[in-house]
With several copies, the nearest count.
Chain A
Amino acid sequence: MSWSKDDMVRRAAAELKDGQYVNLGIGMPTEVANHISAAVVLHSENGLLGMGPFPRDDEVDPQVINAGKQTVTVLPGGSVFDSALSFAMIRGGHVDVCVLGGLEVACTGDLANWTVPGKMTTGMGGAMDLAAGARRVVVLQTHVAKDGKPKLVERLALPATALGCTNRVITELGVFDPAGDHFRCVERAPGIDEVQIRQSTGAKVVFTPST
């Protein structure tokens, strides 16, 4: 049985280790925050470190928001800063892990997640900086598109967000590491076999012994 959205989010949360500085992208990656057991510090690119959970009703402060423009809180030990310093943290490799949503990932590590030709774009926001800058990029996405087309591919069809940036992809079928000319499957969702994965993937997949 493939992983549920919740399973995927939990699996992404398990990627995080004590002491890491972590940025969670907008959308599904934001939900990872609810399942982190490690002592990490959350970074929000609008200029916040030590981001806490959503506020209680009586704690809401319109001037404390995350990059998704949602009201949040600042944990003790947190700090705020301007956008240039915030992206200095990202580009300079000070953010250890970034979890991003994806539209396509190539086995080279190239990532597309910001725009679809023919659709009105929302703009890239901080996605390109995060993808190019974070030390480790984990992509959370469905394995195939709604029309069944693979989203793990040999070569991007969609406009790139950054090249060679993706370290790991988590889908409903398992966990996949871009490895140049193929994906390395390092974990399969329970009951998912190699054939299912190969059929749903647009690039060569190599299974590690443990899978």
Chain B
Amino acid sequence: MKVCANATEALAGLRDGMRIMAGGFGLCGNAEHCIAEIARRGVKDLTIISNNCGNQGQGLAVLLKQRQVSHVVCSFIGGNPDLAEQYAAGTVKVELNPQGTLAERIRAGGAGIGGFFTPTGVGTVVAEGKEVREIDGRRYVLEKPLRADYAIVRAAVGDVDGNLRFYRTARNFNPLVAMAAEVTVAEVDRLVGRGDLDPDDIHLPGIFVKHVFEAREHKNVIEHRTTR
């Protein structure tokens, strides 16, 4: 049975020192209830794999504020003073990845790929210490897959079998991290019954989801409210 009552139940197996992948781009598409539960539990020495690790003191940045995070694998620090500060102080280790490389490494982790050659990063600091190879006249860097103990995912709709649908640009890294963890926890705005989703309408098949719970309330923080 994949359905859980809440984040506490879904994340019961979380321990100090674990690697957690989180969907979301900045504060959009964040598994807010999962993050709150990790903060409440106070587990420490976490590695967070996420495009931003929060922003503006919110989202995953709460875990930084509480000093629960020792490593971050991300693509962007801008807008995240907590990460910038702890990175500068050396209290959090940060591994910066080009955003597309981060996405592809996570996908590779989920898809059983042992590594891949990407043109991104050739001739830059990203390629330092990595194999660079010319293939059919173009140079590529070898990148390795990423995996985690837990993935926390936010979806718009989920069914009792863990099938998920995302909403607009809240999709981002969510379906990818769901594939690459030992245990994937999905919090969904709306939980529906078996067969309520058409097979053609499912963005992420339930095979990748271990626990699903409904969380109707989300803050959905806007980072930059731009209007015309």
A→B interface (CB under 8 Å) = 21, 41, 43-50, 53-57, 60-72, 74-95, 110, 120-129, 132-133, 159-163
Cβ B202 vs Cβ A69 within 8 A: no
Q: How many A-B residue pairs have CB under 8 A?
A: 230
Question: With A91-B113, A132-B122 as given contacts, are A62 and B96 in contact (CB-CB < 8 Å)?
Answer: no
Cβ B172 vs Cβ A46 within 8 A: yes
CB distance from A186 to the nearest CB of B (A): 26
Given contacts A50-B161, A69-B224, 20 further A-B contacts (CB under 8 A): A21-B207, A49-B205, A60-B225, A61-B168, A63-B170, A69-B55, A70-B223, A71-B225, A77-B161, A79-B199, A80-B199, A81-B205, A82-B172, A87-B111, A90-B100, A122-B79, A125-B76, A126-B99, A126-B100, A127-B98
Question: With A61-B168, A79-B163 as given contacts, are A129 and B120 in contact (CB-CB < 8 Å)?
Answer: yes
Task: Report B88-120 residues with CB < 8 Å from chain A CB.
Answer: 88, 96, 98-104, 106-107, 109-113, 118-120
Cβ B223 vs Cβ A65 within 8 A: yes
Bound-state Cα–Cα, A21 to B206, Å: 10
Cβ A159 vs Cβ B179 within 8 A: no
Bound-state Cα–Cα, A53 to B164, Å: 24
Quick check: is B47 within 8 A (CB to CB) of the other chain? no
Bound-state Cα–Cα, A46 to B208, Å: 18
Chain B residue nearest to A51 (CB atoms) is B169
Taking CB atoms, residues of chain B closer than 8 Å to A47 are: 25, 169, 171-172
Cβ B227 vs Cβ A123 within 8 A: no
Question: With A90-B100, A122-B76, A126-B100 as given contacts, are A161 and B124 in contact (CB-CB < 8 Å)?
Answer: yes
Quick check: is B10 within 8 A (CB to CB) of the other chain? no
Among A57, A82, A91, A123, point to the contact of B76 (Cβ < 8 A): A123
Bound-state Cα–Cα, A57 to B195, Å: 22
> B163-195 CB contact bits vs A (8 Å, 1 = yes)?
100111111111110010000000000000011
CB distance from A121 to the nearest CB of B (A): 7
Taking CB atoms, residues of chain B closer than 8 Å to A123 are: 74-78, 96
Cβ B26 vs Cβ A69 within 8 A: yes
Taking CB atoms, residues of chain A closer than 8 Å to B224 are: 65, 68-71
